[in-house]
């Protein structure tokens, strides 16, 4: 990570995300797990999975990601069902 430790990245992102949440009145950041795709100076793709606070145990990171995935899947299915019901009503 070009001389930046995972903890340094986590702390910097935690501060930035926490500030955005506070500015928008959305609450105080408790924990987060981010999956970030980056393109480096050479044009190579990289993937970072960063958790905050720094040092968050892997089982907590997995739990946050699973919860987010479950919510995304549920919302996706809900939208698909609603669209199908709207189409059936139009027929």
What is the band of 1 on the pLDDT scale with cuts at 50, 70, 90? low
Q: pLDDT for 15-34, tens place per residue?
A: 999 999 999 999 999 999 99
Q: How far apart are CA 85 and CA 83, in angstroms?
A: 5
Q: Is the predicted pLDDT of residue 77 greater than 80, yes or no?
A: no
| pLDDT value of position 88 | 72
What pTM did the predictor assign? 0.68
- Check residues 79 and 61 and name the one with the higher pLDDT: 61
| pLDDT value of position 87 | 78
Task: Output the CA angle 17-51-14, nearest 5 degrees.
Answer: 25
Q: pLDDT for 35-65, tens place per residue?
A: 899 998 899 999 888 899 988 999 999 999 9
Q: How far apart are CA 65 and CA 71, in angstroms?
A: 10
């Amino acid at each position: 990570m070009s001389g930046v430790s995972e903890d340094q990245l986590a702390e910097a992102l935690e501060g930035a995300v926490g500030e955005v949440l506070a500015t928008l009145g959305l609450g105080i950041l408790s924990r987060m797990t981010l999956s970030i795709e980056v393109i480096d100076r050479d044009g190579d793709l990289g993937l970072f999975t960063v958790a905050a606070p720094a040092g968050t145990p892997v089982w907590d990171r997995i739990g946050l990601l699973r919860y987010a995935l479950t919510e995304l899947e549920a919302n996706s299915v809900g939208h698909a069902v609603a669209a199908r019901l709207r189409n059936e009503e139009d027929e």
